[in-house]
Amino acid sequence: MEKEPLVEHPADPPAPGPPRPRRRISKLLVGAGLAILVLLATVDSKLPFRPHLCRGRHGKDSPFGRFPRSGDPFHFIPCTDRTIPPALEDPNPLRSWARLFDPDPAHWNWGNASAADHEGGHGHLRSPFSGRGIYLCGYLDVPLDYTNKSDERIARLAVTKFQVSGLAPHRRHRRGRHGDDNKAGKKSERTLVIEPGGPGGSGTSMAWRASEGITKRLSDGQYDVLGWDPRGVNTSLPAISCFPFDADRDHWALRSGQYRETSPSPRAQLEFVDAMSDSVFNACYKQHGDIPRFMTTAIVARDLEEIRKALAEDELTGYLVSYGTGIGQTYANMFPNSVGRMILDGTEYVRDHRLVGGFGWTALDNGTNAWHDGFLGECVNAGPQHCALAKQLSSEPVTLKSLENRMHTLVSSLIERPLPGYTEFSGPSLITYSALVGALYGSMYNAESWPALAQMLFELEAGNTTMAAAMLERVAWGYDPTLPSPPNKRPSSEELGTLVICADSYDAKEPEGGMDWWENLWKNMTERSWIAGNSRFSNVFPCRHFTKYWPEPAEVYRGDLNHTLKHPVLLIAETYDPATPLRNGRRLLKEMGANARLIAHHGYGHSSRDKSNCTDSIAKRFILEGVVPDEQETACYANEKPYLYGVKKGDASATGRKTQSAMEIWDEHLAELALLSPALLPKRM
Ligand SMILES: *[C@@H]1O[C@H](CO)[C@@H](O)[C@H](O)[C@H]1NC(C)=O
Ligand SMILES: *[C@@H]1O[C@H](CO)[C@@H](O)[C@H](O)[C@H]1NC(C)=O
Ligand SMILES: *[C@@H]1O[C@H](CO)[C@@H](O)[C@H](O)[C@H]1NC(C)=O
Ligand SMILES: *[C@@H]1O[C@H](CO)[C@@H](O)[C@H](O)[C@H]1NC(C)=O
Ligand SMILES: *[C@@H]1O[C@H](CO)[C@@H](O)[C@H](O)[C@H]1NC(C)=O
Ligand SMILES: *[C@@H]1O[C@H](CO)[C@@H](O)[C@H](O)[C@H]1NC(C)=O
Ligand SMILES: *[C@@H]1O[C@H](CO)[C@@H](O)[C@H](O)[C@H]1NC(C)=O
Ligand SMILES: *[C@H]1O[C@H](CO)[C@@H](O)[C@H](O)[C@H]1NC(C)=O
């Protein structure tokens, strides 16, 4: 009975509304030319719009009482599709917020019933909501400028919490002892605070997408999970976009995103992009004034400390991913006495981001290894039944070497001339080198996407561009022409990521040579990594204009990373991570010394998504008991191989657990990528 979903699960498709066939993910993916590490995505599908909801029922009690509860610093109310924090200009935000409370629990977003609950209660009087976690939405106001008490402006941070114990029925509604226990409706002893990265990744989106999985994986479902949108991002306020509409950004992206290999004159291309970066920052300045001064990672770390205090927990428990590990390292060293059980997964070395272009060029180590050993090598190992590219085309068997040559020929042919394609929703289309290589790089983040990518490349090689066009168009645009326009929708907070990266390195002196130096860096980066170089370069190149508009951010962290912490942190770094190479995790470990332990996770993709029982058991023990391994570094291996996830050993006929189509796999991949790296996504063409 409890299994029957009475309400829409957040992972379910959107409720009735205008059909949005295609491009909803795109904006997230289309990078601001920044890039790095974020995670998941289409909140579209998580916060289904329900225009049919009755309004005006506020003030009523629900069977679970009234929300927000007095004294709750987050002002939590059960999430519906309307629970977006009130505007900064709102003179009475709390009243407006309380009006969003909908007393009908069938409209709330509940989690799945836990397995424990299925076994446990048989009470026939149980409510359909007992044993289910609940998604709570709230916000926290913090100072915009922590360094200036006389500046009264605030930032309003959106938070989404998955409370594992659900809600307790209000006294008046209780019927006997069935259906509630003494834990129901209470926060857990610790809360797993999560952050997907970016910069620019949305923690509330990650909470929607991943909370239930994260609490199971790291705490056997015992701890609540809380995600927040960092200042400037998504539903937090102020949100930073420097284009009035996504279409305006798209208008320039095609030209700005051209890769070096296809630029007839790399210098001319750079001059164009450089002028555009200046123009974008100028627009940011016109629209947001001094606000980009307050978007640094150090200030975000202060926000995180405010979140910890609002949770009323003595120490921070967290699962911070990708650029989120940069927030975590900064936080730990600014607030060493607040550090609890923090996992930093997909570890960068935040010190690198103080250098000119450091966010870009320190990330390049292993992207091409992932392509070579992983995408191609594991394809050959898995064989034609699991990887289309392993199909034998001639009398010669497919070897890694021959496959590598074929793919090199295919990809580089697009430098000379793109291939025409067609999709029903965009009409004419081109398979360009820049768009394809951008997609290949994104695919290295997530090996689940590889069978779909291999299928696409196989068909493309045979001259069929149908799937390539469909996949590349998925990330092409932020603008969605199927939505009414104007106002279409809120423009995405895409410029935020660049502003954070540039603010964090604002005092790094541009080397002698000016544009010549940058031109050389671009060459160097693309030669070191054909798969990641262009994307990473575009994240940092705009920074040369930052201080023209914002000479001095309000605060950056420039201290060491070896402070003595209240509790050691657990670092996880991956051997084939295309964004945060293991080398950087080890450099961080060296500086942190006894204050950290590292899991060297042998697997594919960005962060430890390539499941390993070894990694998971260390991580869970750390979160639940605070125990760290004795050794500084522990090696863990992924359970399975790409292309063979879910395929049982020795069962040659099994096709694996994936029954999804290539496009379904691809869409799921893009949703994941949008979280990890909204800015990573290729600007296409
Ligand atoms: C502090 O804030 C006040 C009020 O906004 C402003 O006038 C002043 O210039 C600020 N000081 C600094 C150092 O930013
Ligand atoms: C919740 O249940 C739905 C439908 O049964 C399932 O698809 C989904 O994977 C479950 N989510 C989690 C986190 O277990
Ligand atoms: C990752 O890159 C480093 C530096 O180039 C290299 O030493 C290491 O072998 C690479 N890792 C893998 C798994 O190829
Ligand atoms: C091209 O590929 C698409 C799907 O990827 C397929 O539906 C179509 O039949 C193929 N066209 C030809 C001519 O093989
Ligand atoms: C790029 O620069 C790095 C650091 O200066 C250097 O080690 C490397 O050899 C250069 N690579 C290329 C391809 O020029
Ligand atoms: C941290 O490292 C610096 C050198 O980089 C050293 O001077 C300092 O003593 C170290 N601090 C601690 C607490 O170990
Ligand atoms: C990982 O753990 C699961 C669940 O305990 C088990 O079924 C599986 O065999 C383990 N896999 C490996 C590679 O140890
Ligand atoms: C930001 O929040 C909105 C809800 O207003 C959601 O639809 C959108 O997908 C979110 N963006 C990201 C990047 O998650």
Considering only 29-33, 78-82, 546-550, which range has the smallest mean pLDDT?
Answer: 29-33
- Arithmetic mean of pLDDT over the chain: 87
The helix (H) or strand (E) run that includes residue 156 is strand 154-163
266: CA distance to ligand 7 center in Å? 50
Give the pLDDT score at 14: 31
Give the pLDDT score at 44: 32
Give the pLDDT score at 478: 76
Give the pLDDT score at 7: 35
| DSSP string covering 131-143 | TEEEEEEEEEEEE
182-192 pLDDT, tens digit per residue, is: 778 899 999 99
Residue 584 beta carbon below 6 angstroms from any ligand 3 atom: no
pLDDT exceeds 80 at position 425 = yes
Confidence of residue 158 (pLDDT cuts 50, 70, 90): very high
Of the two residues 9 and 150, the one the predictor is more confident about is 150
Give the pLDDT score at 34: 34
Q: What 3-state class would DSSP assign to 197?
A: coil
- Residue 253 neighbours by CB under 8 Å, 6+ apart: 30, 683, 684
- Residue 596 neighbours by CB under 8 Å, 6+ apart: 568, 569, 570, 571, 588, 589, 632
Residue 213 beta carbon below 6 angstroms from any ligand 2 atom: yes
97-115 pLDDT, tens digit per residue, is: 999 999 999 999 999 876 4
Give the pLDDT score at 658: 54
Q: Which residue owns the Cα nearest ligand 6 atom 14?
A: 562
For a substitution probing ligand 3, which of 349, 366, 586 has the most ligand atoms within 8 Å of its CB? Answer: 366
pLDDT exceeds 50 at position 30 = no
Considering only 20-34, 231-245, 351-365, 443-457, which range has the smallest mean pLDDT?
Answer: 20-34
Backbone region of residue 646 per phi and psi (left: phi > 0; alpha: psi in -120 to 50; beta: other values): left
Q: What 3-state class would DSSP assign to 675?
A: strand
- Average pLDDT for 347-353: 98
Say how far apart CA 351 and CA 362 lie, in whole Å.
Answer: 11
Q: Which residue owns the Cα nearest ligand 1 atom 13?
A: 148
Residue 28 beta carbon below 6 angstroms from any ligand 8 atom: yes
Residue 148 beta carbon below 6 angstroms from any ligand 1 atom: yes
604-644 pLDDT, tens digit per residue, is: 999 999 999 999 999 999 999 999 999 999 999 999 999 99
Give the pLDDT score at 17: 30
Of the two residues 363 and 170, the one the predictor is more confident about is 363
The three-point CA angle 2-11-69 to 5° equals: 75
578: CA distance to ligand 3 center in Å? 11
Both tokens of 587, joined, read: 């450099």
pLDDT exceeds 60 at position 59 = no
Both tokens of 604, joined, read: 């594919």
Give the pLDDT score at 648: 72
Neighbouring CB atoms inside 10 A of 649's CB total: 8
466: CA distance to ligand 4 center in Å? 6
Percent of the chain at pLDDT > 70 equals 84
Considering only 166-180, 211-225, 424-438, 534-548, which range has the smallest mean pLDDT?
Answer: 166-180
Confidence of residue 181 (pLDDT cuts 50, 70, 90): low
Peptide bond into 384 cis (omega under 30): no
- Residue 185 neighbours by CB under 8 Å, 6+ apart: 64, 163, 165, 166, 167, 168
Confidence of residue 123 (pLDDT cuts 50, 70, 90): very low
- Check if the beta carbon of residue 572 is closer than 8 Å to that of residue 608: yes
For a substitution probing ligand 3, which of 368, 372, 580, 582 has the most ligand atoms within 8 Å of its CB? Answer: 582
Amino acid at site 88: L
Confidence of residue 254 (pLDDT cuts 50, 70, 90): confident
- Average pLDDT for 88-97: 96
Give the pLDDT score at 663: 92
Cβ density class 64-93: b for 16+ within 10 Å, e for less: bbbbbeeeebbbbbbbbbbbbbbeeeeeeb
- Residue 152 neighbours by CB under 8 Å, 6+ apart: none
The helix (H) or strand (E) run that includes residue 213 is helix 203-219
- Residue 475 neighbours by CB under 8 Å, 6+ apart: 25, 26, 29, 30, 435, 438, 439, 442, 670, 681, 682, 684
203-241 pLDDT, tens digit per residue, is: 999 999 999 999 999 999 999 999 999 999 999 999 999
Percent of the chain at pLDDT > 90 equals 75
Q: CA separation (Å) from 200 to 164, 231, 235, 430, 527?
A: 27, 9, 11, 29, 28
pLDDT exceeds 90 at position 92 = yes
Give the pLDDT score at 6: 35
Both tokens of 506, joined, read: 């604002």
Give the pLDDT score at 491: 79
Instruction: Give the atom of ligand 3 at the shortest distance from the alpha carbon of 576.
Output: 13
Q: What 3-state class would DSSP assign to 256?
A: helix
Give the pLDDT score at 121: 46
| DSSP string covering 287-348 | HHTTGGGG-SHHHHHHHHHHHHHHHT-SSEEEEEETHHHHHHHHHHHHSGGGEEEEEEES--
- Check if the beta carbon of residue 35 is closer than 8 Å to that of residue 322: no
638: CA distance to ligand 7 center in Å? 11
Q: In a 10 Å sphere around its CB, with 0-12 CB exposed, 13-18 middle and 19+ buried, how is residue 323 labelled?
A: buried
Ligand located closest to 564 CA: 6
Highest mean pLDDT among 34-38, 253-257, 676-680: 253-257
Give the pLDDT score at 497: 95
pTM of the model: 0.90
Give the pLDDT score at 655: 53
529: CA distance to ligand 5 center in Å? 11
Say how far apart CA 375 and CA 360 lie, in whole Å.
Answer: 23
- Average pLDDT for 645-667: 74
478-498 pLDDT, tens digit per residue, is: 777 777 655 556 778 889 999
Give the pLDDT score at 657: 53
- Average pLDDT for 582-588: 98
Residue 639 beta carbon below 6 angstroms from any ligand 7 atom: yes
Tell me which residue of 456, 466, 481 sits closest to 429, measured CA to CA: 466
Residue 9 beta carbon below 6 angstroms from any ligand 2 atom: yes
Of the two residues 252 and 29, the one the predictor is more confident about is 252
- Check if the beta carbon of residue 235 is closer than 8 Å to that of residue 100: no
